[in-house]
Structures are given as structure tokens and as C-alpha cells.
Amino acid sequence: MTGQPSSSRPYPVIYRNLMSVGLLGTVYRMGEDAQIISDAVALTLDEGGSFEVYRAVALAMAGQLDYARETLGAKVEDNPQDDASKVALAIAMLFGGDPGWKQWIDNVLATSIDTDVRQAAHGVLGYLGRLTHAH
């Protein structure tokens, strides 16, 4: 999930900037413009999985949680062992204000043997802990 072409050469800076603009436009609810940029970027990626996850989280942050539920939920449904998608879905749900996020983190922590994914799940809980103590 690096957002890089399969040849391991990084995308040009202008291209990565377009990705960022599309995602930020989504978060800041510049819907139509962000959609045009994001669609154009997605069509040209060698492997669009990472961008799809980023886009789902950005849309959830903008209050459009349905896209994350559909795309990430479908990934988990297709592959129930896809713990990375479970964590991404939990993050999208958390940012989208859906309290159901916790079941996905709990599931990953209870069942996953993937160290990186477990670390990401712990990171979500740590982030929330820091927020709670800051307020």
C-alpha cells in the first residue's frame, strides 16, 4: 500500500500532489472537483487499493461514511482474513462518527497474527487515549 507504481519508481511529484489535492478536496467537501481529480487518479494507478482506502477514509472524514462501508466492507466480506481492511474500516467509521468502529479493532486484536496490523490497531486506541487525556 505504498501508492507507487509496480516498477518501484515513485510517481512524479505533480502526480502525488494531484492525489493529495483530490483527498484534501474530499475532506474539505469540495465534492465535484475532488471527485473529478480522484477519479482521474484512480484510473491511472497501477494498483489502486491504497488510494481507494485513503479515499474511503477521507470521505468518512467529510461525513460520507457509506463509501467506506461499501468499499472496505466488500474487501472484508470477500476476504474475512483481510485485517488491514478491517483496521481501515474501523478508522473510517471512527472518523465518520460510527461507534461500530470498535468491533473491528477488537476483532483484529483478538484474532490477527499480523504484527503490523496489530500495531496499527493499537495505534488507533493509543490515538484515542491521547485525545481523551488532552481534553
Give a yes or no: residue 5 inside a domain: no
Torsion angles phi and psi, residue 123, rounded to 5: -60, -40
Cβ(102)–Cβ(82) under 8 Å?
A: no
117 residue type, one letter: V
Q: Total domain count for the chain?
A: 1
- Structure confidence by residue, pLDDT tens digits, 106-117: 999 999 999 999
Q: What is the CATH number of the domain that holds 79?
A: 1.25.40
Give a yes or no: residue 72 inside a domain: yes
pTM, two decimal places: 0.77
pLDDT per residue of the chain (135 residues) written in tens, 0 to 9: 444 444 556 777 877 888 888 888 888 777 788 888 888 888 777 776 788 888 888 888 888 899 899 999 999 999 999 999 999 999 999 999 999 999 999 999 999 999 999 999 999 999 888 877 776
Range of the domain at 70: 13-134
Angstrom CA distances, 59 to 10, 15, 81, 90, stand at: 25, 20, 24, 14
